[in-house]
Amino acid sequence: MSENGTQERRPRHTGNGGARARPRGRRADPGDLDALRQLLSDPPYRRDLLIEYLHAIQDHDRCLRPSQLAALAELVGLSQTEVYEVATFYAHFDVVDEHEPAPPPLTLRVCDSLSCQIAGARQLLRDLNESSGDGVRVVRAPCMGRCQHAPTVAVGQFHVDHATTEKVAEAVACGSTAAVVPPYVDLDSYRQQGGYSTLSKCVSGTLSADFVMNTLNDAGLRGLGGAGFPPGRKWQLVRAEPGPRMMAVNADEGEPGTFKDRHHLENNPHTVLEGMLIARWVVDAEKVYFYLRDEYPAIRQLLSSEIAALRSAAIPLADRIELRRGAGAYICGEESAMIESIEGKRGLPRHRPPYVAQCGIHGHPTLVNNVETLYWIRDILEKGADWYAGHGRSGATGLRSYSVSGRVKEPGVKLAPAGISARELIEDHCGGMADGHGFRAYLPGGASGGILPASMADLPLEFGALEAHGCFVGSHALIVLGDQDDLREVALNLMHFFEDESCGQCTPCRVGTRKAATLMSTPNWDTGLLRELAQAMSSASICGLGQAAGNPLLSLLRYFPEELEA
What pLDDT tens digit does each residue of the chain (566 aa) get? Answer: 444 444 444 444 444 444 445 556 678 999 999 999 999 988 999 999 999 999 999 999 999 999 999 999 999 999 999 999 999 999 999 999 999 999 999 999 999 999 999 999 999 999 999 999 889 999 999 999 999 999 999 999 999 999 999 999 999 999 999 999 999 999 999 999 999 999 999 999 999 999 999 999 999 999 998 888 999 999 999 999 999 999 999 999 999 999 999 999 999 999 999 999 999 999 999 999 999 999 999 999 999 999 999 999 999 999 999 999 999 999 999 999 999 999 999 999 999 999 999 999 999 999 999 999 999 999 999 999 999 999 999 999 999 999 999 999 999 999 999 999 999 999 999 999 999 999 999 999 999 999 999 999 999 999 999 999 999 999 999 999 999 999 999 999 999 999 999 999 999 999 999 999 999 999 999 999 999 999 999 999 999 999 999 999 999 999 999 988 75
CA 194 to chain CA centroid, Å, is: 30
Of 146, 24, 34, nearest in space to 411 by CA = 146
* Residue 292 CB contacts under 8 Å (≥ 6 apart), including other chains: 251, 252, 299, 300, 303, 323, 324, 325, 326
Based on C-alpha coordinates, what's the Rg of the chain?
24
Q: In one letter, which amino acid is 490?
A: V
Other Cβ atoms less than 10 A from the Cβ of 9: the count is 11
Provide the whole-model pTM: 0.94
**Residue 412 near residue 311, CB atoms below 8 Å:** no
Other Cβ atoms less than 10 A from the Cβ of 386: the count is 11
Return phi, psi of residue 534, to 5°: -60, -40
Of 473, 478, 455, nearest in space to 396 by CA = 473
**Residue 32 near residue 71, CB atoms below 8 Å:** yes
What was the pLDDT predicted at 226?
85
> Residue 473 and residue 477: Cα distance in Å, rounded?
7
Domains, the chain: 106-173 (3.40.30.10), 187-382 (3.40.50.11540), 402-482 (3.10.20.600), 486-566 (1.20.1440.230)
Among positive and negative, which fits the CA dihedral 376, 381, 385, 386?
negative
> Residue 292 and residue 322: Cα distance in Å, rounded?
11
Return phi, psi of residue 503, to 5°: -75, -15
**Residue 228 near residue 222, CB atoms below 8 Å:** yes
Strand partners, 479: 405, 443
> Residue 73 and residue 50: Cα distance in Å, rounded?
9
> Residue 525 and residue 556: Cα distance in Å, rounded?
12
SS3 of 507, please? Answer: helix
Q: Is 191 exposed, middle or buried (0-12, 13-18, 19+ CB in 10 A)?
A: middle
Gap between the terminal Cα atoms of the chain:
62
Q: In one letter, which amino acid is 402?
A: Y
Other Cβ atoms less than 10 A from the Cβ of 30: the count is 9
SS3 of 443, please? Answer: strand
> Residue 396 and residue 45: Cα distance in Å, rounded?
49
Of 488, 497, 512, nearest in space to 564 by CA = 488
DSSP 270-298: HHHHHHHHHHHHHHTEEEEEEEE-TT-HH
What was the pLDDT predicted at 27?
87
Number of C-alpha atoms within 13 angstroms, CB side, residue 52?
A: 17
What was the pLDDT predicted at 497?
97
Of 483, 406, 405, nearest in space to 438 by CA = 483
> Residue 496 and residue 151: Cα distance in Å, rounded?
18
What was the pLDDT predicted at 13?
40
**Residue 461 near residue 444, CB atoms below 8 Å:** yes
Would you say how long the chain is, in residues? 566
> Residue 314 and residue 411: Cα distance in Å, rounded?
39
* Residue 263 CB contacts under 8 Å (≥ 6 apart), including other chains: 401, 403, 412, 413
